[in-house]
Amino acid sequence: MSSVLVREAAYAYQTLKPLLFDLFSSLDHGAIRKNSRVLIKPNLLAPATPDRAMITHPLIVRAAVEYVLERGGLPQVSDSPAIGSFDRVMKESGIAEALQGLAVDCRPFTKSVFVTVGPPFQKIEVAADAMNADVVINLPKLKTHTQMLMTLGVKNIFGCIVGTRKPEWHFRTGIDRDKFAELLVRIYAAVRPAITILDGILAMEGQGPGKGGRPRELNIVMASEDAVALDAVVCRMLGIGGDELLTNRAAVRMGLMPEKIVIDGELPVVTDMQFPEMSPLVFGPKRLHGFMRKHLVQRPVCNDSRCRHCGECWRYCPAKAIEPQIKGLKFDYDKCIRCYCCIEVCPHAALSARETMLGKAVRKTVKKG
Ligand code: SF4
Ligand code: SF4
């Protein structure tokens, strides 16, 4: 059995700090004590101000640091941003300013250690700071995600994979989203944060988790010792079926989904959250999958009038499927594994995932049949 604490909240520090301290003290069970090394892992995807809802809000990070300090622990705030340097993300997000005057170590993940996670992945490299900490505090942001539907507690721990290893893992899991979801759950289980507090006060909907998404007020924080349970409760709040979030599905397969989840607090019902279109990557007879992937499956497209040719997408693309043109970009849809990392890292919201007309029509026909 796992418990998930649900609280209404706003970004006003005089009320947010006691609320979060209360959540932390309900969950830490004395684990954070004098000289404990406590790794705090927010979502620091890319440089962005808090009103874009892309990163964990600075006041939530501040409250976590202050809580650790009050318990005599040694807080460290770290992540491995997909784009921009760690220092730039800390500055533009306002987190650096929010932490001013506090005795906290802020630095990007750089070193990794090998962790055995079992088949089919065997050994994976995970940030040494996360594996060596006495306690890990996970501070995800509630956001939609073009590839995985949402990024919540479990997915946030993927940030403990350092730098270019992230796109490499996308490439290794390829077009198989279930396999990628299993990888995410295995990394989460290896790091096993003691406390997860989700920032859903200003969440993100639409084609998240980057600049293509839209901020959406939900005024909620959730906390749990079990991020799998927390993610399941978010799905319940948003009317998402138990197995629609692939990491939930993988957690069930791996025996990590608790049989019973107790909700402490009032769970709101949100019926109009806008999710990205999640059309299947392949469907119908197997012999047609190659053709489908090239011509029918939802694909990244570029809005040329927004593209500034900054190069973030083609540098990050794990399949090397993007080529700059004089105007806009050229995608090699044979190579493209539909990870949508390009959409995630585009700083100008120039990319989106679109289903082809033919793909839409064929999928509907296959469904009917
Ligand atoms: S699509 Fe976005 S990330 Fe790619 S080059 Fe254009 S502006 Fe940069
Ligand atoms: S083009 Fe975009 S969606 Fe396709 S593999 Fe590259 S990053 Fe992933």
Query: Is any atom of ligand 1 closer than 6 Å to the C-beta of 343?
Result: no
Ligand 2 atom nearest 335 alpha carbon: 5
> How is the chain split into domains, by residue range?
2-264, 286-368
Q: Residue range 308-323: average pLDDT?
A: 95
| CA angle, residues 107, 152, 110, in degrees to nearest 5 | 20
Q: Does domain 286-368 have CATH number 1.10.40.50?
A: no
Ligand 2 atom nearest 319 alpha carbon: 5
Contact 155, 146 (CB under 8 A): no
Residue that the structure tokens 């640091």 belong to: 65
- What whole-number distance in Å separates Cα of residue 147 and Cα of residue 164? 18
Ligand 2 atom nearest 339 alpha carbon: 8
Express each pLDDT in 134-171 by its tens digit. Answer: 999 999 999 999 989 999 999 999 999 998 889 899 88
Contact 248, 235 (CB under 8 A): yes
Which residue's C-alpha comes closest to atom 2 of ligand 1?
Answer: 346
SS3 annotation, 311-367: CHHHHHCCCCCEEECCCCEEECCCCCCCCCHHHHHCCCCCEEEECCHHHHHHHHHHH
Which of 6-15, 163-172, 285-294, 338-347 has the highest average model confidence (pLDDT)? 6-15
Ligand nearest to the CA of 330: 2
Question: Which residues have C-beta atoms less than 6 Å from ligand 2?
Answer: 300, 317-319, 321-322, 331, 336-342
- What is the whole-number distance in angstroms between the Cα of residue 337 and the centre of ligand 2? 6
On whether the pTM is more than 0.95, the answer is no
Element (H, E) at 5: strand 2-8
Query: Is any atom of ligand 1 closer than 6 Å to the C-beta of 302?
Result: yes
- What whole-number distance in Å separates Cα of residue 360 and Cα of residue 279? 9
> Quick check: 314 pLDDT over 60?
yes
Ligand nearest to the CA of 318: 2
- What is the whole-number distance in angstroms between the Cα of residue 166 and the centre of ligand 2? 13
Tell me the residue type at 227: A
Q: What are phi and psi of 27, to 5 degrees?
A: -110, -20
From 313, 322, 326, the mutation candidate for ligand 1 (largest count of ligand atoms within 8 A of CB) is 313
From 339, 343, 352, 355, the mutation candidate for ligand 2 (largest count of ligand atoms within 8 A of CB) is 339
- What whole-number distance in Å separates Cα of residue 316 and Cα of residue 208? 17
SS3 annotation, 201-250: EEEEEECCCCCCEEEEEEEEEEEECCHHHHHHHHHHHHCCCCCCCHHHHH
User: Which class for 271: exposed (0-12), middle (13-18), buried (19 or more C-beta within 10 A)?
Assistant: exposed
Q: Using 50, 70 and 90 to split pLDDT, how confident is the model at 118? A: confident
Give domain 2-264's CATH architecture. 3-Layer(aba) Sandwich (3.40)
- In this structure, what token pair is assigned to residue 129? 């700071």
Ligand nearest to the CA of 166: 2
Query: Is any atom of ligand 1 closer than 6 Å to the C-beta of 83?
Result: no
Q: Residue range 17-41: average pLDDT?
A: 97
Per-residue pLDDT at 175 = 80
Per-residue pLDDT at 36 = 98
Per-residue pLDDT at 243 = 84
